[in-house]
Amino acid sequence: AEDLIQKLTDSTIKQIDAVLAEKEVDLMEV
């Protein structure tokens, strides 16, 4: 069960990083 939680956490962190990266790009473009 912990492995599944770890995978979900890792994927969630990756999604958050991707969103933050997109926002940073938007800020730099302005």
Alpha-carbon distance values, 29 to 4, 6, 12, 19, 21 (Å): 38, 35, 26, 16, 12
**pTM of the entire predicted model:** 0.59
Q: What is the pLDDT of residue 1?
A: 80
Tracing tokens 């994927």 back to the chain, one arrives at: 11
H/E run at residue 21: helix 2-29
pLDDT in tens, 1-30: 899 999 999 999 999 999 999 988 887 776
